[in-house]
Amino acid sequence: MRWRGRHYRTGEPIDVVCNQDRIQQIESSGSERPDREAQWIAPGFFDLQINGCLGIGFGAPDITVEKIRIVVDECRRHGIVELLPTIITGSFENLSRGFATLAKARAEDPALARAIPGYHLEGPYLSPEDGPRGAHPREHIRKPNWDEFRRLQDAAEGGIRLVTLAPEIDGAIPFIEKLVAQNVVVAIGHTAAGSADIAAAANAGAKLSTHLGNGSHAVLPRHPNYIWDQLAHDALWASIICDGHHLPASVIQCMVRVKTPERTILACDAGPLAGMPPGCYRDWGQELEVLPEGKIVVPGTRFLAGSWAFTDRCVGHAIEAAGVSLADAIDMASSRIHELFAMPPRGLEAGHSAELIAFDWSPGQPLSIRHAT
């Protein structure tokens, strides 16, 4: 397989020659006809927060292997070649069913196993307060319970690789220590934590802030507050949602400048209603609305319920909003996640994975995926 386009970091015209699932060599573009071609070539995206799309939720009671395949295929159309299916706060039975179905999908289909290196448990150990709780159902918010998590991990066949929780909840800090000992990445999110709680979580091994700046109170103390505290802590990376709705450009700029592109991750947080037409729906145990401009909200509030957009839009918007280079924006949506999870490096180099994207993009224009493995 021969891919042709400009190298996303150098801008040089190249051919990427792939042999099965690996890059065999990279050459200057020649006369041989390519199999895939676009303006640019880059590693495929890896999104660590995909709740579903097209009306399908990974935590829905009716989730099936075929529905998981539909979501993965739709994500690939947007350049997402790897993802962490995310299941949010719910009953133990609902969480267990979702993770067991994901494990079944990976066991039955090698293509799904490649696309899904693990899962993200977002909740249920979160703040019960309005604002930080976001769209998570209050009735299922609870304290960390190691026995419950162990049973969920058993249902997932060991596949839960990321857990988002609120560190101020009773029992959260020893729970974080146990997760870290099991090589699970811990993220702080949907929290009303004080400064000491943030520091304790990071000292216990938490490594990430989930969608920093969202899942928070509408009004915060000027300082200190849990956004400043997470920004200031060098041990914490930050994931941010750059869909054009979750954060204004000035906030994106500040967050990326503080964390730097080396410790910032772009996540789209695509919800089950991503890609659906405007209208009212019921999901996550409540009424939700897709607005004409692409926001998904809890009707009558300003609370966002996941994103309508995918990672390709977030990468394009990050370039414009944060003023970062194409290369940095791509890396924040691909190689950075591999670093966070201590996975094999991701790049355009011989021997690296051949999970690639070919896309068109120019300054001021949206990023358009033409091909993805």
As for how many domains the chain has, the answer is: 2
Task: Kindly report the CATH number assigned to the domain that includes residue 11.
Answer: 2.30.40.10
| 288-342 per-position pLDDT tens digit | 899 988 888 888 777 788 889 999 999 999 999 999 999 999 999 999 999 999 9
- 157 and 251 together in one domain: yes
What is the reported pLDDT for 159?
Answer: 98
For 107, the domain range is 45-344
If asked whether residues 179 and 122 sit together in one domain, one would say yes
pLDDT in tens, 199-230: 999 999 999 999 999 999 999 999 999 999 99
Assess whether 266 and 229 both reside in one domain: yes
Share of the chain above pLDDT 90, in %: 91
Give residues with Cβ within 8 angstroms of 276, minimum separation 6.
Answer: 54, 55, 290, 308
**18 and 147 fall within a common domain:** no
Q: What is the pLDDT of residues 128-141, one digit of tens each?
A: 999 999 989 999 99
Q: Is 182 in the same domain as 101?
A: yes
Q: 75 to each of 47, 113, 195, how far by Cα in Å? A: 9, 15, 37
What CATH number is associated with residue 233?
3.20.20.140
Residues 337 and 219 in one domain: yes
User: Mean per-residue pLDDT for 146-172?
Assistant: 98
Instruction: Quickly state the pLDDT bin for 42 (edges 50, 70, 90).
Output: very high
Q: In this structure, are 298 and 326 located in the same domain?
A: yes
Average pLDDT over residues 244-250: 94
pLDDT at 278: 93
Query: Does 356 share its domain with 219?
Result: no
**216 vs 31, residue with greater confidence:** 216
Q: Is the same domain home to 105 and 137? A: yes
Mean pLDDT of the chain: 96
Shared domain for 94 and 108, answered yes or no, is yes
Strand ranges for the chain from DSSP E: 2-7, 13-19, 22-28, 36-43, 45-50, 52-53, 56-57, 80-88, 119-122, 160-165, 185-188, 208-209, 237-240, 264-266, 279-283, 286-290, 295-297, 304-307, 356-360, 368-372
Model pLDDT for residues 272-281, shown as the tens digit of each residue: 999 999 999 9
Q: What is the mean pLDDT of residues 112-132?
A: 97
* 154 lies in the same domain as 30: no
**Is there a single domain that holds both residue 20 and residue 65?**
no
Q: What's the pLDDT score for residue 285?
A: 75
